Amino acid sequence: MTTMQTVLLPVGADLYAVPIGWIREVLAAPAITRLVTAPAVLLGLMNLRGEIVPLLDTAALLGVGTVGTGSFAAVMHTSHGPAALAVSGLPQRAELGSPTGPSELPGTAGTYRLDKRVAVLLDLAVLLTPERIGGHELHSVGVSVEVS
Amino acid sequence: MVGLNVDQVRILFSQEATVRLAQLGQLLLQLEQIGSDETLIRSIFREIHTLKGSAAVAGLAEVSECAHDLEELVEDLRTGRRSAAPDVIDTLLAGADRLAALIASHWREGETSATGDPLQRTAQSSRVNVEHPARTRHRARVGHELLSGDPTHRGDAEPAKRPGPAARMLPAAAVALAPSDSATAAGGVIMVPTARLEELTRMVGESASAHLRIGKMLKDRFGVDPGSCPEFNELSRSLNDLQDRATRTQMVPVATVTDQLQRGVRDLSRAQGKEVRWETRGVDTEMDRGVLHQLADSLLHLVRNAVDHGIEPVAERLAAGKPAHATIRLHAMQLGSEVIIAISDDGRGIDTVGISRRAARHGIDSEGFSEEDLLGLIFSPGLSTTDFVTDVSGRGIGLDVVRTNVEAARGRVEVRSEHGAGTEFRIIVPITLAVLRCLLVEAGGQRFALPFHRVVLSKADDPAMRAHAEGRPVLLVDNQPVPVTTLTQTLGTGSAEPVVGPIVVLADTSRRHAFQVDRLVGQRDVVLKTLSRLLPHLPAVAGASVEPDGSVLLVLDPPGLIHRARQAGRGAAVAPAQRPDGPRGRILVVDDALTVRELQRSILERAGFLVRVASDGSQAMSKLAEEPSDLVLTDIEMPTMDGFALTAAIRAHPSLANIPVLILSSRSSEADRRRGLDVGADGYIIKSGFDEASLLTAVNRLLGASA
C-alpha cells in the first residue's frame, strides 16, 4: 500500500491534510496586518523574518465558512512564493494510506480515514493560485441607502 | 589546480564580453566625436584584441574571427592607413553589435559540443584572410558583411584554425587571464546576480529588526536601557551603515544607459542626414537599477523623437540662423530623493498652435488652454501616437506610453518648449523604488504610508474651507473644489470616523482628492516590498514594508486610491459631525438566505468587524442572550421570527434595548420602511441597491452613534 506523509490542519471541526513537502513551517498566533481592499479570504499580511507573507482563511478558501485568523499559521511553499493558511489547531504529522473516497469541494483530492477521524486532502496546486484567491473578490452593485 | 569545463569558461567569457563590449561602444562613440586620437585608438584596439583572445580560449571561433576582422580595421586606423571617418565608425559599431549578437546567440543555444559545433562549421567557411593584398577592397566588404550580419557571405575565406582547446576540461590557468583581465579593465567590478543583492538587502533588514527586538528584550527582561549601552549603539550604527550600503548595491549611474541613447541619436541622425551633437552632464548620478531599467525605453524614445521631430534639417537650421550642428543634451541630477533626467534639444520646438488644431480634430476644445496645458496634450493617447511621434524606433509607442512608463516608476514627466528655440523633456523619478519617502498617517486604527511625491498638502481640517458640490462634500484647495472622503471609507475598513482629523490631499496625473485621516504620524523613508504574486492586483495598495518593530506597514497607491474613492460614489462621502472614538465592533447578521448572509459577513469581516450569523429572529435572540452584539443587521422576511418581530424583541429586552438595529430588506415600500422604524430600527437599507460601501456607511454611522 502506498502511503503519503502529510501534515494535518485542523479547521474548525474539519481536518485537512497537505503533503508534507508543501509545508515550510508552522507559526503560533502570528501578528497580522489587515490588507485593506483585499478579498475576504485574505486575512492579512505577516512578517516572517523580514519576508511579507499573506495569511489566507483556509475555510473561506474552501468555501466552508471562516476560520478567522486562527490559532496557527501553516506556511506553505508555492510557486508564487510563500503563503500561509490559518488553522484553528496545532498541525500535526500523519501518514495517509489509501483514500476512502472522493471529496466534493474544489481544491480537495479525496478523503482519508484516520482512526475515527476523516481527513480531506487539499490540492494546494489548485487552491493556492492567484485565480482562486482573486476569485473571492466581491463585486459591488448599485448604491441606494436610506438610514434614519 | 581545479580545472574549469567549457561551459564555465564560456560563462566567464560572457561576463567579460559584456563589460568589454560596453566599453568598446563607448570608446567608438568618443572616437567619432573627437576624431583620430592615438590613445583612444590604442584602447579600442586593446578591447577588441582581448575579446578576440578570450573568445579563442572559450572555443568561440566565430566570435574570435569577427573580433579579428575588427582588429585589422582598427590596426589600419592605428597605422594611419585609414581615418576615423563615419563609415569606418559605422563598420566598427556594427561589428561590435555583431559580436554581441554572436555571443548572445551562442549563450542562448548553449552550444558546447566540439564536433557538432555550428560555430566551428561556420568558422571553417568564413575566415577572412586579413593579409589579402587588396586591403581596401577587402575592408569595404568586411563593413558590408558586418552590417548585413551574414557571416556566410564573407569572401576571401581560408580554412579556420580552430581556436581554443579541444579538450572539454580546461586547466584553470589557461583561462585565468580572462576573468582577472576583465576585472582589471572594469575597475575591480565583478558581476553578481541581482537576486543575490536583493537577498542581501533583505537579510540586512532582518538583522536590523532583530537588533531592535534585542533592544526591547534588554529593557523588558533586564531593565537595561539599550541607549545607554555603548555596544548596542555601536551595533546600531554599523547596521544603519550596512543597510545604506546594501541599498546602494542596487544603484547604478545614469551613464549605464547613455551609450545606448547616444547610439540611438547617432544612428537616426545619420539616417536622416542631420548633424547632431550629443552632450551629457551629471551622468554619474546614481539611481535604482530597476527604475533606470524601467525608463530606458522611454529615454531612448525621447532622444529619437528629438532627432526626428525636434531637430531641423541642416538647410532649415542655417536659414533660421542656427548652427548646422544641432545639440541634444541629457542632464541628470539628484534633487533630494528624486532624480531628474532632462533631455533637451535646440531644434524647432513644439508648435502649440498646431497642437491646438490637432486637438480640435480629436474633439478636444483647447480654447482657453495655457501654453503649458497645450503642451500637456502631447501626452494624450490619441494625439501623441498619431500626430507627434513617428515610429522611428520601431517600438510603436507614443508619448502617452512614455508618460505611463514614467508613472509606473512612480515618477512624472514634464515638457517645456519654446517655438523655434527647442524643447526639454524632464523625467522626474524617485532615486529608488526600494526606498520611498512617505507620509505616514493613521486611519481606522491602522497605520498607512502615502508616497510623498503624490501628496499635494496635508493640513488640519478647516470647516471654513468645506463646501458641497455635485452631490458630494468638497474641500477648497487653491480655490478649487477637491472631493473629500475619509480614508477608512475609501478603504472599506468600516469606520467613517473620526472626521475631525487632518486632511491629506493626494494627486494623480489629472485629479486631486482629499482624504481625511485620524492623524498624521510623520514622514520618513520606507523600504517598499511588493506583495506576494499569489494575491490579486489591489490598485489602492502599492506594497508593504516591515517596520522596525516587526509589524507590517501598508503603502497605499494614491492613483488607485483616488480611483477607488471616486468609484465609491458621492453618497459615501464623509459627514462632518461624526464622533472619532467609536471602536470597530461585534455585529450579528440575521438572514435566512445563505448567500446574502455570507456576503454581508464577508463585507463586514473584511472591514474588521467581528461577525456572528443567525438564520432567523429566534436564533438571533438566542445568540444575543449568549453574548450581546454592538449592532444587529437583519432581514425582514424570515421563518419563525421575522425582522420586525426581532427588532421589537430587542427593543423590549432590558439589556439589549440599546443595540442599534439596521434592517436590510428587499421590501422597498415606504410603509415597510416606516414600520421598521416604528418598531425601533435605526436604519433601513433596500437590498436591491445595497453594496459594500453603502452597507459600511450605514453600519459605521450607527456604530458611531452608539459608541
In a domain, A146, yes or no: no
Test B601 with A66 for CB contact under 8 angstroms.
Answer: yes
Going by pLDDT thresholds of 50, 70 and 90, the confidence category of residue B432 is low
Contact present, A71 and A89 (Cβ < 8 Å):
yes
Q: What is the pLDDT of residue B8?
A: 67
Test A45 with B684 for CB contact under 8 angstroms.
Answer: no
Q: What is the pLDDT of residue B578?
A: 36
Residue with more model confidence, B35 or A140: B35
Distance from CA of A24 to the nearest CA of B (A): 16
Location of C-alpha cell 485568523: A69
Going by pLDDT thresholds of 50, 70 and 90, the confidence category of residue A123 is very high
Residues 6 or more apart whose CB falls under 8 angstroms from that of A139 comprise none
Its pTM stands at 0.49
Location of C-alpha cell 452631490: B471
Closest Cβ opposite residue A144 in set B550, B608, B694: B694
If contacts are CB pairs under 8 Å, which of residues 527-556 in chain B contact chain A? 529, 531-541, 544, 546, 550-554
Test B532 with A128 for CB contact under 8 angstroms.
Answer: no
Average pLDDT over residues B650-660: 82
Test A39 with B606 for CB contact under 8 angstroms.
Answer: yes
The percent of residues in chain B predicted with pLDDT above 70, rounded, is 79
Residues of B in contact with A53 (CB under 8 A): 532
If contacts are CB pairs under 8 Å, which of residues 654-683 in chain B contact chain A? 662, 673, 677, 681-683
If contacts are CB pairs under 8 Å, which of residues 329-358 in chain B contact chain A? none
Residue with more model confidence, B407 or B74: B74
The yes-or-no verdict on residue B186 having pLDDT over 80 is: no
In a domain, A141, yes or no: no
CA-based nearest residue in chain A for residue B535: A130
Average pLDDT over residues B65-92: 87
Test B683 with A138 for CB contact under 8 angstroms.
Answer: no
The yes-or-no verdict on residue B135 having pLDDT over 60 is: no
The yes-or-no verdict on residue B144 having pLDDT over 80 is: no
Edge-to-edge strand ranges of the sheet holding B276-281? B276-281, B326-335, B338-345, B422-430, B412-418
CA-based nearest residue in chain A for residue B695: A145
Residues of B in contact with A83 (CB under 8 A): 532, 534
Contact present, B479 and B466 (Cβ < 8 Å):
no
The yes-or-no verdict on residue B441 having pLDDT over 60 is: yes
Give B580-608 pLDDT, tens digit per residue: 334 478 899 998 877 677 777 777 877 77
Q: What is the pLDDT of residue B509?
A: 63
Q: What is the pLDDT of residue B547?
A: 80
Query: What is the number of CB-based contacts under 8 A between chain A and chain B?
Result: 151
In a domain, A140, yes or no: no
Closest Cβ opposite residue B209 in set A50, A82, A147: A50
Q: Give counts: helices (H), strands (E), chain B.
A: 24, 25
Location of C-alpha cell 546594501: B246
Distance of CA B253 to CAs B183, B256, B301, B328, Å? 19, 6, 20, 20
Residue with more model confidence, A123 or B414: A123
According to DSSP, the residues that pair with B335 across neighbouring strands are B338
The yes-or-no verdict on residue B496 having pLDDT over 70 is: no
Residues of A in contact with B536 (CB under 8 A): 38-39, 130, 133-134, 137
Mutate to test the interface with B, among A42, A79, A143 (most CBs of B within 10 A): A143
Q: What is the pLDDT of residue A46?
A: 94
HEC per residue, B451-465? EHHHEEEEECCCHHH
Test A147 with B608 for CB contact under 8 angstroms.
Answer: no
Closest Cβ opposite residue B536 in set A60, A133, A143: A133
Distance of CA B597 to CAs B592, B615, B617, Å? 7, 8, 13
Q: What is the pLDDT of residue B136?
A: 38
In angstroms, the CA B214 to CA B191 distance is 35
Q: What is the pLDDT of residue B259?
A: 86
Asked, as a colleague might, if the bond just before A54 is cis with ω within 30 of 0, I would say: no
In a domain, A47, yes or no: yes
Closest Cβ opposite residue A138 in set B546, B553, B602: B602
Q: What is the pLDDT of residue B498?
A: 53
Test B691 with A146 for CB contact under 8 angstroms.
Answer: no
Residue with more model confidence, B117 or B455: B455
DSSP B379: G
Give B413-431 pLDDT, tens digit per residue: 888 888 889 999 999 887 7
> By the CB < 8 Å criterion, does B601 face chain A?
yes
Going by pLDDT thresholds of 50, 70 and 90, the confidence category of residue A22 is very high
Average pLDDT over residues B115-133: 35
The yes-or-no verdict on residue B677 having pLDDT over 60 is: yes
Going by pLDDT thresholds of 50, 70 and 90, the confidence category of residue B337 is low
> By the CB < 8 Å criterion, does B205 face chain A?
yes
> By the CB < 8 Å criterion, does B213 face chain A?
no
The yes-or-no verdict on residue A87 having pLDDT over 90 is: yes
Q: What is the pLDDT of residue B464?
A: 85
Interface of A with B (CB under 8 A): 31, 33-40, 42, 44-47, 49-54, 60, 66, 78, 80-83, 128-130, 133-134, 137-138, 140-148
- Burial of B420-450, coded b for 16+ CB within 10 Å and e otherwise, reads eebbbbbbbbbbbbbbbbbbbbebbebbbbb
In angstroms, the CA B316 to CA B700 distance is 68
Q: What is the DSSP string of B526-583?
A: EE-BPPPTTSPP-TTEEEEEE-TTS-EEEEE-HHHHHHHHHHT-GGGPPPTT--TTPP
Distance from CA of B248 to the nearest CA of A (A): 19
The percent of residues in chain A predicted with pLDDT above 90, rounded, is 64
Test B534 with A143 for CB contact under 8 angstroms.
Answer: no
Test A144 with B673 for CB contact under 8 angstroms.
Answer: no
Test B532 with A31 for CB contact under 8 angstroms.
Answer: no
- The C-alpha angle with vertex B292 and arms to B290 and B294, in degrees rounded to 5, equals 70
In a domain, A14, yes or no: yes
In a domain, A147, yes or no: no
Test B538 with A37 for CB contact under 8 angstroms.
Answer: yes
Mutate to test the interface with A, among B200, B587, B599, B606 (most CBs of A within 10 A): B606
Give B679-700 pLDDT, tens digit per residue: 888 888 877 656 677 788 778 7
Q: What is the pLDDT of residue A14?
A: 93
> Which residue type is seen at B71?
E
> By the CB < 8 Å criterion, does B526 face chain A?
no
Test A133 with B534 for CB contact under 8 angstroms.
Answer: yes
Residues of A in contact with B663 (CB under 8 A): none
Q: Which of B225-229, B294-298, B365-369 has the lowest mean pLDDT?
A: B365-369
> By the CB < 8 Å criterion, does B445 face chain A?
no
In angstroms, the CA B440 to CA B520 distance is 6
C-alpha cell of residue A87: 488553522
- Whole domain around residue A12: which residue ranges? 4-134
Test B691 with A141 for CB contact under 8 angstroms.
Answer: yes
- Specify which of B311-320, B488-497, B520-529 reaches the highest per-range mean pLDDT: B311-320
Give B615-633 pLDDT, tens digit per residue: 888 889 888 887 888 899 9
Test B571 with A143 for CB contact under 8 angstroms.
Answer: yes
Q: What is the pLDDT of residue B119?
A: 33
Q: What is the pLDDT of residue B154?
A: 37
Average pLDDT, chain B: 76
In a domain, A148, yes or no: no
C-alpha cell of residue A40: 475576504
C-alpha cell of residue B463: 470647516
Going by pLDDT thresholds of 50, 70 and 90, the confidence category of residue B188 is low
> Which residue type is seen at B582?
G
Test A37 with B682 for CB contact under 8 angstroms.
Answer: no
Test A147 with B536 for CB contact under 8 angstroms.
Answer: no
> Which residue type is seen at B223?
G
In angstroms, the CA B111 to CA A74 distance is 44
For residue B495, give the nearest of B538, B457, B445 by alpha carbon.
B445
The yes-or-no verdict on residue A18 having pLDDT over 90 is: yes
- The C-alpha angle with vertex B660 and arms to B654 and B661, in degrees rounded to 5, equals 105
In a domain, A97, yes or no: yes
Residues of B in contact with A138 (CB under 8 A): 599, 602-603, 692
Test B531 with A52 for CB contact under 8 angstroms.
Answer: yes
CATH of the domain at A60: 2.40.50.180
Q: What is the pLDDT of residue B515?
A: 95
Total tally of structural domains belonging to chain A: 1
